[in-house]
Structure 1
Amino acid sequence: MPESFTGKFAAGLASYGDRPCIEFEGRWYSGADITSYAHAIASALDNAGVAADAPVGLVVRNRLHHAAAIVGFLAAGRPVSMIYSFQSPEAIGRDLEKLAMSAVVADPEDWSSDVIAAARRAGCAGVAISLTAPAVAPVEGLERRDKARQHARVEPGVALEILSSGTTGPPKRQALGASVLERTVFSVTSGEAASQSAPPEFAYWQFGGIGVCQLIAGVYNGRRVVMLERFTVDGWVDAIRRHRITRGGVQPAVIRMLLDADVPRADLASLEFLISASGPLDPETRDEFEHRYGIPIRLAYGATEFAGSLCAWTPEMLRDFGESRRNSVGRALPDTELRVVDPETGAVLPAGRQGLLEAKVGPLGPDWIRTTDIASIDVEGFVTLHGRADGAINRGGFKVLPETVRKVLISHPGVRDACVVGVPDVRLGQVPFAAVEVPADTDPPSDDELQALVRGALPAYNVPVAFAVVDALPRNPALKVSLPEVAALYAGRT
């Protein structure tokens, strides 16, 4: 019988011994350090009357002790459900009660009075974890799980519940099975088990969501991991420079931030390529980056519900199609089938036609899963993305695609970035509204100028009814633009 993911992951963790495992805030922690921390958390849960296989909640942050908790839970086969830390204490408490876990693990700063009160109502145990003494401790008043209460039970096969990025609203929880996590490792590493001397995995995307894949892949393969609590240009560039990292995934916003910061070319010299994922990267920004740094950017596509990528570029594909399919996200991975369907009828569309992308991924089961992404697949099997269907604005029966309008707006030399959302309208139902990000010390374009720009490129119903000029678009911890916060800019004008 093939060894389970849990067994392989535990073996990966054990392989470090006293070797460096994770770097955080400039300090390396060995595999023994991580294992010791994980054992201390397991002991605290045992003392609280929590069964060894009972699922627990983690109010997750990108910190060393949270990474140790995640690693320890996966190595022990204990399911863990992520709880979003970037929300109010009241919202954390509501999540905690809804999940009804036997125990919740969190940083001391997240054990507010509201969260503690919610935990008492749920009858769950509470464990506080920190990098300062005491490193692991029971939360006062939550020392033991209330055994008279019914708590969440193990769901067969589920190893981890992660959160979506929360672009359109509150993050959604997605259950991932242990077998699916093996696919996660493959999609992150392309099946390569790098040597111990190879540059480390670089984990800076939020662990509550798909960003945890870098941590999982690194430990699974016994490879060193460098982690950041949050993205900053200085921190990211420092890690690239010190560790001579050769490749990495970045959000489109990061590409723009690196350009705006005018990072010296020598600081990124080790990079062979970057992979742009989690949103559209406009061609102008991509061209500017590649011209300035000589570092190719490859487009990628994945989603939380697939626990990683659906498509990839191989060296052979790059050699034969790299230029002619420059705007593609590549072809389907070996365990994946992709098709494009008509959003109304579900009929499979021929090559080259745009529609909703559907995927069938072996480890996830035999069913086709419909995404909210508009895509086309050419005769060679290359996938190109054209925007999101769930963001479409119905303006009195006319469909406005926000990404199409955004592309026009960012073509203006005075606009660094833009976001288009639908806002309520009594007569038409919805109308488009745009927030535009303007570089510092630049005179912003007028509303009339921007409206004329859109009107000259697209049918009139695509023209936003109003614009808000901002220094920076509101972004969530995943560096994606927050659509509700952009819509609130319009609400504030009315």
Structure 2
Amino acid sequence: MRESFTENFAAALAGYGDRPCIEFDGRWYSGTEVKAYGAALTAAFDDAGVDPAAPVGLIVRNRLPHAATIIGCLAAARPLAMIYSFQSSEAIGRDIEQLRLSAIVADREDWTADVVAAARRAGSAGVALSTAPPAVAAVVGLDRRDTLREHERAGAGVALQILTSGTTGPPKRQAINVSALQRTVFSVTSGESAPYDDPPELAYWQFGGIGVCQLVAGVHNGRRIVMLERFSVDGFVDAIRTHGITRCGVQPAVIRMLLDAEVPKHDLSSLEYLISASGPLDPQTRDEFEQRYGIPVRLAYGATEFAGSLCAWTPETVREFGASKRQSVGRALPDTELRIVDPGTGAEIPVGEQGLLEAKVRPLGPDWIQTTDVASIDADGFVTLHGRADGAINRGGFKVLPETVRRVLIMHPGVRDACVVGVPHPRLGQVPFAAVESEPRKPRPAERDLDDLVRQHLPVYALPVAIVVVDELPRTPALKVSLPAVAALYRGGDPRA
């Protein structure tokens, strides 16, 4: 009889034994220690009257106890819903009441009066986590689930409810089924495996979202994992240098931050390549990084709703097509079919033309799932991304793709990054507005010069009604630019609209 993903995952966790499993905050935790969190959680849930199959919530942070909670729930086949920690305690409380779960797990510091009160109103049991004894403990006053309340039951086959990145607004939850977790492992590793004593995996992407895929894949494959609570250049570089890490997935912003910090070349010398995902990487930044460090950057593409990547580069395709298809995110993974459709009619369009990307992923079901990404697929099956359709700005009937305007703005030598969003207009419906992040070592760009640059390369309707220059663009914890925060910088009143 074929073993299930859950059985394989639990066996892989047990396989660490007393050997190091996860490093956090400068200390290695053994498989036995990580597994102990799961056992303690199970006991706490039993004491609280929580059914063994009932889903629970985690106010998630990238900390050892939280990683151990995710691992423990997966190994025990208990569904787990992520709750966004980077919001006010009142907002966390609203999430708890909406979710109606039998139990909520959170760091000791996150059990504020507002959160406790919300859990009490929802009738949820409360469990507090810590790296100091007691590692797992009932929250005072929330030691039992209120059995008079109707709590959420497990959805069919659901293992995790993870969060989107929050780029366009508050993060949303996406259910990931147990049946999809095997493809999660494959999409993270491209089917490659490595022995335990190879350099460890580096995990810093937020575990509440797509970052959990690396944690799942690492444990499933019996790899050691080095965790960072949040990205910082110093923490990232120290992990690479200390552990001799050979490859890592990064957001485009990280590549720019490493360049700006002028990290010494020898500190990154163990890296064989970086994988850039979660957003567009401008060619100039990629070229600058590769020329300075001699480390190739590969582009990849995935999404929360697909439990990992849709397409990627393999060593074979890099050798054959790496130079000629440099701007591609690679070919579809073996379990995935991709096509490009007309956004108006839904009809498939010819090879090489731009349209909406759709995917059919066998472990997720037989249906085509439409993304919000504008892409093209060439005759060799390589995918190139061109922007997001859901961000398209309808300026009085003229469509403006923000990424098209962004690419022009970052051509200016004084611009490090840029973001273009649609803002309301009483006559035209929407108009483009831009915020640019200045290059700190160069003169601050003038709005007039940026205007002229856009006029030279794009139709007049693509010209932003205003451009503000900032020291840093506002970003989410996932290191993506926050579109609502950029839109909030707009003050209105530009006569060009």
Deviations 1:457-489 (A, max 9, x none): 000000111111111100000000000000001
1:155 matched to which residue of 2? Answer: 155
2:354 matched to which residue of 1? Answer: 354
CA distance in 2, matches of 1:195, 1:458: 51
Q: Could you say what the CA RMSD is over the residues aligned between the two structures, in angstroms?
A: 1.1
1:321 matched to which residue of 2? Answer: 321
CA distance in 2, matches of 1:266, 1:480: 28
Structure 1's consecutive aligned runs of 4 or more residues displaced over 4 angstroms after TM superposition are: 491-494
CA distance in 2, matches of 1:398, 1:271: 45
2:279 matched to which residue of 1? Answer: 279
CA distance in 2, matches of 1:184, 1:2: 19
Is 2:413–2:442's contact at 8 Å kept on the other side of the alignment?
no
CA distance in 2, matches of 1:410, 1:128: 46
CA distance in 2, matches of 1:402, 1:345: 23
1:257 matched to which residue of 2? Answer: 257
Cα distance, 1:492 vs. partner?
8.4
Deviations 1:206-234 (A, max 9, x none): 00000011111111111111100000000
Cα distance, 1:133 vs. partner?
2.6
How is 1:220-259 mapped onto 2 (pairs within 5 angstroms)?
Answer: 220-259=220-259
Kindly tell me: are residues 201 and 106 of structure 1, through their superposed partners in 2, closer, same or farther at Cα, counting changes over 3 Å? Answer: same
Alignment-mate amino acid for residue 49 of structure 1: G
Alignment-mate amino acid for residue 229 of structure 1: E
2:67 matched to which residue of 1? Answer: 67
1:170 matched to which residue of 2? Answer: 170
CA distance in 1, matches of 2:201, 2:123: 39
CA distance in 2, matches of 1:374, 1:360: 16
Kindly tell me: are residues 441 and 259 of structure 1, through their superposed partners in 2, closer, same or farther at Cα, counting changes over 3 Å? Answer: closer
State yes or no: 1:486 paired with 2:486. yes
CA distance in 1, matches of 2:103, 2:468: 44
Alignment-mate amino acid for residue 291 of structure 2: H
Structure 1 gap ranges (5+): none
Cα distance, 1:196 vs. partner?
1.1
Secondary structure of 1:490's partner? coil
2:12 matched to which residue of 1? Answer: 12
State yes or no: 1:26 paired with 2:63. no
Alignment-mate amino acid for residue 101 of structure 1: L
Cα distance, 1:139 vs. partner?
1.1
Task: Please report the TM-score for the alignment, with normalisation by the length of structure 1.
Answer: 0.99
Cα distance, 1:493 vs. partner?
8.5
Kindly tell me: are residues 493 and 115 of structure 1, through their superposed partners in 2, closer, same or farther at Cα, counting changes over 3 Å? Answer: farther
1:102 matched to which residue of 2? Answer: 102
1:312 matched to which residue of 2? Answer: 312
State yes or no: 1:459 paired with 2:459. yes
State yes or no: 1:85 paired with 2:85. yes
1:180 matched to which residue of 2? Answer: 180
Sequence identity (%): 74
Cα distance, 1:441 vs. partner?
5.3
1:446 matched to which residue of 2? Answer: 446
CA distance in 1, matches of 2:199, 2:441: 39
Structure 2 gap ranges (5+): none
Kindly tell me: are residues 487 and 127 of structure 1, through their superposed partners in 2, closer, same or farther at Cα, counting changes over 3 Å? Answer: same
Question: Would you say how many aligned residue pairs link Structure 1 and Structure 2?
Answer: 494
Cα distance, 1:280 vs. partner?
0.1
Secondary structure of 1:452's partner? helix
1:397 matched to which residue of 2? Answer: 397
- Greater displacement, 132-141 / 92-101: 132-141
Deviations 1:250-278 (A, max 9, x none): 00000000000000000111111110000
Is 2:437–2:469's contact at 8 Å kept on the other side of the alignment?
yes
Cα distance, 1:310 vs. partner?
0.5
Alignment-mate amino acid for residue 463 of structure 1: L
CA distance in 1, matches of 2:393, 2:129: 44
